[in-house]
Chain A
Amino acid sequence: MSRPVEVTEVSKWFGQKVAVSEVSVGFDAGVTGILGPNGAGKTTLLRLITGLQVPSQGSVRVLGVDPRKDPGVYSKISLVPEDEAVYPTLTCREFVELNASLAGITKRSATDAVLEQVALTADAGRRLGEFSKGMRQRAKVAAALVSDPEVIVLDEPLNGADPVQRAHLIEIFLDLGRSGRTVLVSSHVLAEVERMAEQLVAMVDGRLAAEGTVGSLRAAMTDKPRIVHVSSDRPRELAARLVGLAGIESVAFAPDGLEVSTTDAPGFAVRLPADAVAVGARITRVVPSDESLESVFRYLVGSR
């Protein structure tokens, strides 16, 4: 069974500039975050997936077909583009209805439902030109959802949204993922992706840098030492015991314990209790301090 979205050996160049280089990646149901700094090729990848741009080489298949060759599949694909442009003279309702009717949806209830979903019912009669950036983003999300698509592509969808709107939109995206839709969300704001996505695809300089969960990506980076925070009542004695042991790169004091850099995290986890007992130290907490998405991403970008 093929995956809902499959990108195979895709490259895209504009003259001499390579925007996406030999990317092969698949996307399953659920929310997948596409992560990368500005200029990494995220938007180009999403445009290639939606058929807005043609691959210079390689192939894209969405729900088993190439959208360029079979535009009928667009009844199951929606995009929230990065550009904040909308039709300023249309009201929010007209805009959503335009997208609905272009997708072949004629029921007014579909428009009402998505306007309700993005909390724009009260403002549905206002022109989009009068909307704030965050409201325009929500209008675009409503327009994307009105056709009840199976694949939803969101390019920086939280741009301009205030914290309350962001939380609301993130909840919508998570619900879509939980209901079996394939949701692709690009962002350069790591904390947002961390809240939304179970799966990650990291892009750097147009190439696929990594894919998987945050944990699996971090675990795959075996050449990088792991930073572990150890809370203890006797940090000095414990530090003295750990320094110099095989697999320990460095030990630094932290406010309530130690920051231990180790190249052998599993081995360290096994031996730490015995070392603590040996120096009479009580350990209250052991947590990896560099498994956040930001750390993973910093490693990925830094390794290029």
Chain B
Amino acid sequence: MTNLRLIRHVFGQLARGRRLLGLTLLASVPGLVAWIAGSGESNSDRLEIYDIVISTVSGATLSIAVLVLGAAAMRDERDAGTLPFLYLSPIPRWRFALATWLGACGVAILVAVGGWLVGWLGLGVGSGDWGHAWPSLPAYVAAAIGYSAIFIPVGYLFSRAILVGLAYVFIWEGILTTLISGIAASSVWKTALSIFADLRELPRDALDALGPVLPGAGGGAAKLVGVVIVSLAIFTWALRTRDAL
């Protein structure tokens, strides 16, 4: 009951009208790009363009949208001085971390699904194929789940959480996991994309974004669970050992 209240609170604080709309628009950029780029093309080209744009652009837009949300989950409370009302609740810290993530993750999934819907709509209207976009939905949801887990502790630990998050997105996910094959599997977007690639045979240009990560929905889901567990463990540690204010 207590946990549910915390989940509802975090969800309610993050799911504010203008922020939700703005971030959903950001998450819908790849779908819009695919829509515009595919207009005037043949149906098969439209579908290929969709797959390539979603595979290469969505990682950046989704990660930034979820970064803004995830970092805000605790950072907004800290900055506003309202965190003590939550922190001084008799909830074991791991459950506090889990409830916060569930609340933020719910909003992140809303944003991701909203963004995906725009692409689905564009592709469906343009090509008449209303089924082609469906395999990308699990990738969107997976990215929302993974990034929200990562960025909540970032928001708690760093006063410049957005900057730290952007460094993570562009340096770690964008450069290092592409250049160093040994750490490629730690990329949330590559993990999400591996689920997409398992559900749909992607064109070569889209597969390039995967790097050395092999397509696999089961493996991707398992890696995602690992990312969530590690992130929640770090958040729990931070709640126990770091200043809340």
Question: B81's contact among A50, A54, A81, A102, by CB below 8 Å, is which?
Answer: A81
> Known contacts being A71-B90, A74-B90, A85-B80, is A102 close to B245, with CB within 8 Å?
no
Bound CA–CA A64/B35 (angstroms): 63
Query: Nearest A residue to B4 by beta-carbon distance?
Result: A101
Q: How far is the CA of A87 from the CA of B16 in the complex (A)?
A: 13
Q: When A98-B5, A101-B5 are in contact, do A143 and B85 touch as well, CB less than 8 Å?
A: yes
CB-based contact A98/B85 at 8 Å: yes
The answer for the CA separation of A68 and B244 in the assembled complex, in Å, is: 11
Q: Evaluate contact between B81 and A72: CB separation under 8 angstroms.
A: no
Number of B positions contacting A (CB below 8 A): 27
A255 within 8 A of B: no
**List of B residues within 8 angstroms of A106 by Cβ:** 1
Interface contacts (Cβ under 8 Å), in number, total 74
Cβ of A79 < 8 Å from any Cβ of B?
Answer: yes
Interface size of A by CB at 8 A reads 30
1/0 contact trace for A67-107 toward B, CB 8 Å? 01101111101110101111100000000001101111010
In A17-73, the 8 Å CB interface with B consists of 47, 50-54, 68-69, 71-73
Whole-angstrom distance between the Cβ of B113 and the nearest chain A Cβ: 24
Known: A74-B89, A101-B5, A104-B2. A85 touches B82 (CB 8 A): yes
| Contact residues in A for B84 (Cβ distance below 8 Å) | 50, 52, 79, 81
Chain B binding surface, main DSSP class:
helix
Verify A104–B90 contact, CB threshold 8 A: yes
Q: Which chain B residues numbered 56 to 84 have a C-beta less than 8 Å away from chain A?
A: 80-84
Q: Taking A50-B88, A78-B88 as contacts, is the C-beta distance between A102 and B82 under 8 angstroms?
A: no
Given A78-B88, A143-B85, A47 and B245 touching (CB < 8 A)? yes
Task: Mark each residue of chain B from 113 to 153: 1 if its CB lies under 8 Å from any CB of chain A, else 0.
Answer: 00000000000000000000000000000000000000000
Q: Which residues of B contact A102 (CB under 8 A)?
A: 2, 5-6, 85-86, 89, 91
Q: Which residues of A contact B81 (CB under 8 A)?
A: 81, 83-85
Nearest Cβ on chain B to A186's Cβ, whole angstroms: 14
Which of A52, A77, A86, A101 touches B245 (beta carbons < 8 Å)?
A: A52
Shortest B107–chain A CB gap in Å is 15
User: Which chain A residue lies CB-closest to B83?
Assistant: A52
Q: Contact at B92–A71, with CB atoms within 8 Å?
A: yes
Report whether B82 and A98 are in contact in the complex, using a CB–CB cutoff of 8 Å.
no
The contact sample of 10 A-B pairs, CB cut-off 8 A, is A50-B84, A72-B90, A74-B89, A83-B81, A84-B81, A85-B81, A98-B9, A102-B5, A103-B90, A104-B90
